[in-house]
C-alpha cells in the first residue's frame, strides 16, 4: 500500500452518508485534501476524537481520484483551549480562507508553516487583529496576489510618507489627493502595526480578498457579513 503519511490539520468536515464524514485536510505534503473518513460517526470509530480542527495530526490516505479514503489519523499535538471565543472565531476565519482561497493542487510548502504558526499564535494572543492581518498578507503573497505597499503602480516610484494614495486590487497604489497616507502604507509594508495602520491594512486586505473572491465565484457578502 502506498503511504501518504503527513502532518495535517482539519479545515472542514461534514456528514457523508449515514456513518461517515467528508473531511477537508490541509496537509504538509499534499496541501488541501478531501477524504472520506468511513464510519467516523460511529461511537467506537477508530477516528473518534481525532478529527477536530485546530490540532496537529498525522494522517494517511489512499485513492487516485481527488476524493481520498482516510486510512489512519493520529494526534501529534492535542487540542489546546483558546484564550477567548474571539480567538476561536479568528481561527475558524483563517480555516475558511484556506478552504476558499487554496486550490487542491496548491504547493503547501510555505503556506502550511504559515498556517501552523499563525494558528499557534492565535490561540493565546491578545493581538488578534495583528495576527489576522499578517496571515492575510502572507496568504495573498504565497498565492501570487501579493500587495505592493512599497512602490506606486504607474511610476514605480517609492511610496512616500507625506503623500496620499488610492488602491485598486487589480493594479496597486496610485498617488492621489485623497486616499491612504503613505506613512501608513510604509508601516504595513514593514509589518509595523499602529491602530491606524492596522485599520488601513484590514480595509485593503478585505478589498483585495473580495476582488479575488469574485474571480473565484465566492459570495464575499456572506463571508464578510
Q: What is the predicted pLDDT for the residue at 213?
A: 83
Whether 224 has a pLDDT exceeding 60, the answer reads: no
- Residues 54-76 pLDDT 10s: 999 999 999 989 999 999 999 99
Residue 5 belongs to some domain of the structure: yes
Q: Number of structural domains, the chain? A: 2
Q: What is the predicted pLDDT for the residue at 77?
A: 87
Domain of 8, in residue numbers: 1-146
Using DSSP, state whether 203 is helix, strand or coil.
helix
Q: Say if residue 169 is in the same domain as residue 123.
A: no
* Residue 216 binned pLDDT confidence (cut-offs 50, 70, 90): low
Q: Say if residue 122 is in the same domain as residue 177.
A: no
How far is the C-alpha of 31 from the C-alpha of 99, rounded, in Å? 11
Using DSSP, state whether 163 is helix, strand or coil.
coil
Q: What is the predicted pLDDT for the residue at 104?
A: 87
Q: How far is CA 33 from the centre of its chain?
A: 15
- Of residues 35, 5, 37, 1, the one with CA closest to residue 19: 37
Q: Where are the alpha helices (DSSP H) in the chain?
A: 85-101, 109-124, 128-142, 182-189, 195-215, 220-223
Sheet holding 172-175, edge to edge: 172-175, 164-168, 180-181
- Residues 95-120 pLDDT 10s: 999 998 998 888 999 999 999 999 99
How far is the C-alpha of 69 from the C-alpha of 173, rounded, in Å? 46
Read off the pLDDT of each residue in 36-57 and give the average, rounded to a whole number: 92
Residue 157 belongs to some domain of the structure: no
We report the CATH number of the domain holding residue 8 as 2.40.50.140
Q: What is the predicted pLDDT for the residue at 49?
A: 83
Q: Say if residue 88 is in the same domain as residue 179.
A: no
Q: Say if residue 46 is in the same domain as residue 138.
A: yes
Q: What is the predicted pLDDT for the residue at 223?
A: 60
Residue 151 belongs to some domain of the structure: no
Helix (H) or strand (E) holding 72, with range, is strand 67-77
How far is the C-alpha of 103 from the C-alpha of 107, rounded, in Å? 9
Q: What is the predicted pLDDT for the residue at 214?
A: 77
**Matching residue, cell 472565531:** 89
What DSSP letter does each residue of 74-135 carry, written as one string? EEEE-----SSHHHHHHHHHHHHHHHHHS-TT---HHHHHHHHHHHHHHHH-S-HHHHHHHH
Amino acid at each position: 500500500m502506498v503511504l501518504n503519511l503527513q502532518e495535517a490539520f482539519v479545515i472542514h468536515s461534514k456528514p457523508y452518508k449515514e456513518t461517515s464524514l467528508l473531511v477537508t485536510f490541509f496537509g504538509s505534503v499534499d496541501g488541501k485534501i478531501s477524504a472520506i473518513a468511513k464510519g467516523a460517526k460511529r461511537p467506537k470509530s477508530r477516528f473518534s476524537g481525532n478529527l477536530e480542527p485546530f490540532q496537529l495530526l498525522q494522517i494517511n490516505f489512499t485513492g487516485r481520484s481527488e476524493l481520498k479514503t482516510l486510512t489512519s489519523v493520529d494526534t501529534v499535538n492535542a487540542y489546546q483551549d483558546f484564550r477567548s471565543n474571539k480567538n476561536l472565531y479568528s481561527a475558524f476565519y483563517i480555516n475558511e480562507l484556506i478552504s476558499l482561497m487554496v486550490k487542491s493542487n496548491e504547493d503547501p510548502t510555505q503556506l502550511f508553516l504559515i498556517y501552523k504558526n499563525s494558528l499557534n499564535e492565535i490561540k493565546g494572543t491578545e493581538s488578534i487583529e495583528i495576527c489576522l492581518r499578517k496571515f492575510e498578507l502572507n496568504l495573498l503573497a504565497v498565492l501570487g496576489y501579493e500587495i505592493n505597499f512599497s512602490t506606486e503602480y504607474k511610476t514605480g516610484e517609492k511610496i512616500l510618507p507625506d503623500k496620499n494614495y488610492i488602491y485598486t486590487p487589480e493594479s496597486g497604489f496610485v498617488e492621489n489627493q485623497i486616499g491612504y497616507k503613505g506613512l501608513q502604507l510604509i508601516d504595513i509594508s514593514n509589518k509595523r502595526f499602529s491602530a491606524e495602520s492596522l485599520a488601513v491594512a484590514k480595509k485593503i486586505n478585505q478589498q483585495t480578498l473580495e476582488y479575488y473572491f469574485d474571480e473565484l465565484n465566492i459570495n464575499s457578502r456572506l463571508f464578510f457579513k
